[in-house]
């Protein structure tokens, strides 16, 4: 377990009157708050902290505002990290564009996938991407097509009227 607790989490635990897990198991409660804010499931939090479902439910009920505040901090941290990585990727792409030898070693597939992901995320950020394309394996075989045609013919013949 991490020994560091966000100051506002510790303050909220103390100001909450020290009920439940916050009082009896403060280290576990602090870790649970951090994990819940990070999106962990009750099962994962329970496994890591030893707190029961009832203890976690009570903790979440009492510390909901604190968990939400921490969640917002984590979101800001994630976006900050994403921006830093975006700038690094941009620099790396510029370096690659200037070095023909290095560019020749990069596969077209890697470039196209990177480009597509970048465009997709940019369009999502603008609210423009509303279509999800799903690629599935298990393409139909020729035998599947023949079977489907045969079944369609049989179905039509059952409904047909002899003349």
Indicate whether 113 and 157 sit together in one domain: yes
Comparison of pLDDT for 49 and 12, the residue scoring more: 49
Whether residue 82 lies inside any domain: the answer is: no
Instruction: Please identify, among 67, 88, 113, the residue that sits at the C-terminal boundary of a domain.
Output: 67
pTM of the entire predicted model: 0.56
157 is written with which tokens? 């013949």
CA distance 19 to 36: 18
Summarised one tens digit per residue, pLDDT across range 22-77 is 878 888 988 999 999 999 999 999 999 999 999 999 999 888 999 999 999 989 99
Q: Are residues 16 and 59 in the same domain?
A: yes
Burial of 9 (0-12, 13-18, 19+ CB in 10 A): buried
- Mean pLDDT of the region 88-116: 89
Percent of the chain exceeding pLDDT 90 equals: 25
What domain range is 140 assigned to? 99-163
Distance CA 50, CA 56 (A): 10
Q: What is the mean predicted confidence (pLDDT) over 9-19?
A: 72
Please tell me whether residues 150 and 107 are part of one structural domain. yes
Q: Is residue 119 part of a domain?
A: yes
76, part of any domain? no
For the chain, what is the domain count? 2
Give the residue from 51, 76, 48, 66 showing the smallest Cα distance to 6. Answer: 66
* Residue 87 resides in a domain: no
pLDDT at 9: 76
Residue 75 placed within a domain: no
> Is there a domain that residue 85 lies in?
no
Which tokens in the block code for residue 19?
A: 């009920």
CA distance 66 to 75: 14
Q: How confident is the model at residue 4 (pLDDT cuts 50, 70, 90)?
A: low
Q: Is 69 exposed, middle or buried (0-12, 13-18, 19+ CB in 10 A)?
A: middle
pLDDT band at 111 (very low <50, low <70, confident <90, very high): confident
Examine residue 79 and state whether it is found in any structural domain, yes or no. no
């Amino acid at each position: 377990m991490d020994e560091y607790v966000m100051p506002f989490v510790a303050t909220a635990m103390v100001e909450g009157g020290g009920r439940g897990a916050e009082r009896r198991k403060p280290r576990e409660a602090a870790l649970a708050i951090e994990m819940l804010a990070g999106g962990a499931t009750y099962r994962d939090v329970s496994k890591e902290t030893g707190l029961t479902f009832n203890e976690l439910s009570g903790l979440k009920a009492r510390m909901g505002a604190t968990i939400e505040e921490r969640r917002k901090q984590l979101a800001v941290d994630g976006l900050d990290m994403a921006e830093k990585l975006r700038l690094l990727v941009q620099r790396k792409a510029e370096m690659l564009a200037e070095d023909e030898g290095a560019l020749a070693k990069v596969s077209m597939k890697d470039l196209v996938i990177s480009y597509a992901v970048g465009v997709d995320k940019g369009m999502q950020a603008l609210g423009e991407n509303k279509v999800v394309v799903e690629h599935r394996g298990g393409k139909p075989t020729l035998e599947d097509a023949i079977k489907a045609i045969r079944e369609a013919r049989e179905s039509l013949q059952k409904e047909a009227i002899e003349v």
